Amino acid sequence: MSAIPEHHVVGRRTPRVDGEDKLTGRADYTVDHRLEGMLYGYPVPASIAHGTLEALELDAARAMPGVVDILHHGHFPDLHRSPNSMRQGNAVSEVRLPFEDDRIHYHGQYIALVVAETLAQARAAAFRVEARYHRNAGAMTGLAASDDEGEEVGQYTRGEPELAFGIAPVILDATYTMAAESHLQLEPHATLAEWREADQRLIVHESTQGVFYQRNALAHIFDLPPEQVEVISHYIGSGFGNKLFMWPHAVATAAAARLLGRPVKTVLPRQQDMMTTGHRPASRQRIRLGAELDGSLASIQHDSLTETSTIDRYVDACGGATPVAYACDSVATHQRILPVHHGSPCPMRAPGEASGLFALESAIDELAVALDMDPLALRLKNYAHQDPQRGLPWSSKHLDRCLESTAERFGWASRDPGIGNMRDGDEIIGQGMAAATWFAGRQPCAARVTLRADGVFVACGTQDIGTGTYTIVAQTVAELTGVPVARVEVRLGETGLPAGPLSGGSMTTASTLPAVAAAVRDALAALKEVATGPGGSFEGLDPAALDVAAGTLQGDSRQAGFAEILARHRLSDVTGEGSAAPADERQEYSFRSFGAHFVEVRWDPGISRLRVARVVSSIDVGRAINPVAARNQVEGAIVMGIGMALLEGLDYDPRDARLINANVSDYRIPVHADMPEIDVELLDYPDYRFNEFGARGIGEIGLTGIAAAISNAVYHATGKRLRDLPISVEKLMDRT
């Protein structure tokens, strides 16, 4: 390992470089784009969840002003499916093509796309489309309504978990359930597609977390060479996973644009967005723990069942973190999926493990109660000093420091463990805690850097979904060139740029920055070549002897600015290319991020009011490249965790699987008034075994463990162990 570098821009608070555009309304989100001659698409959703579309009555809609065409099963081009492969980079969220047949698999499935001259006309006409259905009996309304155990899709075993459970002196066997959650990203899904007949090019503006995946999928679907498909996404009104992979609205919109020879824009209305573009699936998880009297874990068994749709096989792997969470010789996880008549689920922030750690970290708390042990002490007792799944050392793990620091700042030592013993006026105080963890991964990435007289231009085909990627890329360039952040222009979110990774899995930072750094070094090498060549400012010097500082090359007690060197040789710029990919680091180490959440809830039984009053967290993600944005990620994840624990659940009608609360007030998310005091500490232990900047990524980890910490605090306040999320207030009210 090389010497630890000293950074001046990386790791320092940096205002977002895209901030002014976002805060003045100039930022061009997909929904804001407009092209000459553009038409508007408006989908018509199925009003049943399980059955057949028998007939569409379109005459009234067709006669509405401005209607240009209506696409549907009987009037749609013959397209191909995407291979739907992660390895090939063409995964899609729903593999079925729009209007593929007359079968209805979920409420909201598109039965038509109305295309008209204006948004108002398209919308008005869409409401005039009439459909006749044959409803099938026996819609699968959700796993809660079924005894079906589904199909096993994955398992892991080490040691003898059943045997160890059978002989353990203290055991816990509990089942935890969670409602499906909506991502509810504020910018709805949107596509603006343009077909250029002359050169057979499909150009698509999409609010997406993965421009290259969508390009590759569209190329397969429209049977075009990938070079003839372009996908652009400069600003994304967030995604949280449901904009990772393409949904059918994009296919329908692109097909309409090609068919009609005019650009078509479709922005999903909120209700349709919630019905058709994914959710975190509902889950049922059984946890069995066996422990010695001193708290040593002898056995962990984690059996998960999650919903999928009848048309896709989405696996929300709840047990992903269970084999590595604690030092325990006997561990088993089983994962099963159950098809139901909902739209296809998809990854949602910390997919699988956010649900899994709710169950596991609740169970650990229950075990602590059974053992009469402090839950913090129980976690330290079973601390995994190395990766117990792979037997490798951690690259960098400071969970112990997270737990100690958080406990100290929270004041855990003064907690009275008795149920309901802590009071403040009418309120009963509950205090709970849980650990957090999320894997650290990297994806291949390429970047291009151009040194110009007026600054540096850097390009990479990844995206900034609000996490701050534009800014950390600019910081990296500024760090390595000495050019101020303000003079670094960052271009992301285009398939015309060097291929970049998905914005997902908390992998973007660790994937992108090493590629950007490599491109900067390549560009600097090109500049040094020029400067040391004939007629150069450093003619005859060894390029390796030149230093870079403050936008200049320095050597032999002289210095020359980038612009001066370029001007001297009549060059507009020099360009460098760089790429990075996971290497063999995983053969020697295991990489994960860690954290701890301590939560105080207040329960006022007189008025049945439950609120989260205080959250204290410490997060160990290596080096935070931009601490201000990194902290924001964790705070935002905590807010989402409050929603998961107390508020959020998609409600499907138990009679027919129709989604009841597909709107922003019946599906409740935290608002300003729900905010607790939040104290987030980012530990600073750079993980240089992972990459040269020591960063592991921070988007998801804050959402892991938080729901368990809240649930554990509710138990401490009320004595009620509520194993079903969300913990809505009626579940706490005393029934008399």
Partner 1 sequence: MMETIEYSPEAAVSVHLTVNGVPVTAEVSPNAILLDVLREQLGLTGTKKGCDHGQCGACTVHVDGRAMNACLRLAVMCEGQAITTIEGLAEAGQLHPVQQAFLDHDAFQCGYCSPGQIMSAVALLEDPRVPGDIVTVREAMSGNLCRCGAYQNILAAIQDVRLRRHGQEGGDDA
The order of strands in the sheet holding 39-45 is 67-72, 110-116, 39-45, 264-267, 190-196, 201-206, 229-232
Is 38 one of the binding residues for partner 1 (CB under 8 A)? no
Q: How far apart are CA 38 and CA 597, in angstroms?
A: 49
CB of 493 to partner 1, least distance (A): 13
- From 84, 181, 210, select the one nearest 504 (Cα to Cα): 210
CB nearer partner 1, residue 174 or residue 628: 628
Binding piece for partner 1, criterion CB under 8 A, among 31-39, 41-49, 194-202, 587-595: 31-39
CB of 66 to partner 1, least distance (A): 7
Is 557 one of the binding residues for partner 1 (CB under 8 A)? no
Q: Which of 161, 468, 595, 649 binds partner 1 (CB under 8 A)?
A: 468
Interface mask (CB under 8 A) for partner 1, residues 471-510, using x and -? ----------------------------------------
Is 187 one of the binding residues for partner 1 (CB under 8 A)? yes
Residues in 672-691 at the binding interface with partner 1, rule: CB under 8 A? 672-673, 675, 678
Q: What's 67's DSSP letter? A: E
Contacting residues for 620 by C-beta, under 8 A, at least 6 apart: 396, 397, 398, 399, 401, 402, 593, 594, 595, 683, 685
Q: Which of 26, 80, 423, 558 binds partner 1 (CB under 8 A)?
A: 26
Q: How far apart are CA 613 and CA 602, in angstroms?
A: 6
Q: How far apart are CA 480 and CA 520, in angstroms?
A: 7
Binding piece for partner 1, criterion CB under 8 A, among 18-26, 152-160, 218-226, 710-718: 18-26
Is 637 one of the binding residues for partner 1 (CB under 8 A)? yes
Identify the burial level of 607 via C-beta atoms within 10 angstroms of its C-beta, where 0-12 means exposed, 13-18 middle and 19 or more buried: exposed
Q: Could you identify the residue written with the tokens 């079968």?
A: 103
Is 277 one of the binding residues for partner 1 (CB under 8 A)? no
Q: Are strands 67-72 and 110-116 parallel, antiparallel or unpaired?
A: antiparallel
Q: How far apart are CA 402 and CA 436, in angstroms?
A: 10
Contacting residues for 533 by C-beta, under 8 A, at least 6 apart: 539
* Residue 432, token pair as written in the block: 């709970």
Q: Which of 628, 722, 728, 731 binds partner 1 (CB under 8 A)?
A: 628
Q: Which of 35, 47, 52, 66 binds partner 1 (CB under 8 A)?
A: 66
Q: Which of 5, 8, 20, 421 binds partner 1 (CB under 8 A)?
A: 20
Query: Choosing from 181, 361, 494, 700, which is the catalytic residue?
Result: 700
Q: Which of 12, 32, 311, 731 binds partner 1 (CB under 8 A)?
A: 32
Beta bridge partners of 339: 308
Binding piece for partner 1, criterion CB under 8 A, among 26-34, 70-78, 163-171, 723-731: 26-34
Report whether 702 contacts 635 (CB < 8 A).
Answer: yes
Is 570 one of the binding residues for partner 1 (CB under 8 A)? no
CB of 271 to partner 1, least distance (A): 9
Catalytic (active site) residue 227? no
CB of 418 to partner 1, least distance (A): 30
Vertex 415, ends 411 and 416: CA angle to 5°?
165
- From 411, 333, 454, select the one nearest 598 (Cα to Cα): 411
Q: How far apart are CA 357 and CA 320, in angstroms?
A: 9
CB of 452 to partner 1, least distance (A): 24
Give the total of residues touching partner 1 (CB under 8 A).
Answer: 63
Residues in 104-123 at the binding interface with partner 1, rule: CB under 8 A? 117-121
Is 438 one of the binding residues for partner 1 (CB under 8 A)? no
Is 310 one of the binding residues for partner 1 (CB under 8 A)? no
CB of 547 to partner 1, least distance (A): 33
The phi and psi torsions of 130 (rounded to 5 degrees) equal: -115, 140
CB nearer partner 1, residue 305 or residue 616: 616
Is 275 one of the binding residues for partner 1 (CB under 8 A)? no
Is 36 one of the binding residues for partner 1 (CB under 8 A)? no
Q: Which of 184, 297, 359, 515 binds partner 1 (CB under 8 A)?
A: 184
Vertex 207, ends 205 and 213: CA angle to 5°?
80
- Given 3-state DSSP classes, what are the helix, strand and coil percentages for the chain, each rounded to the nearest 5? 30, 30, 45
* Positions marked catalytic: 700
Contact residues toward partner 1 (CB under 8 A) are: 15-16, 18-29, 31-32, 34, 65-66, 117-121, 183-188, 235-238, 240, 267, 269-270, 465-468, 628-629, 631-633, 635-640, 663-665, 669-673, 675, 678
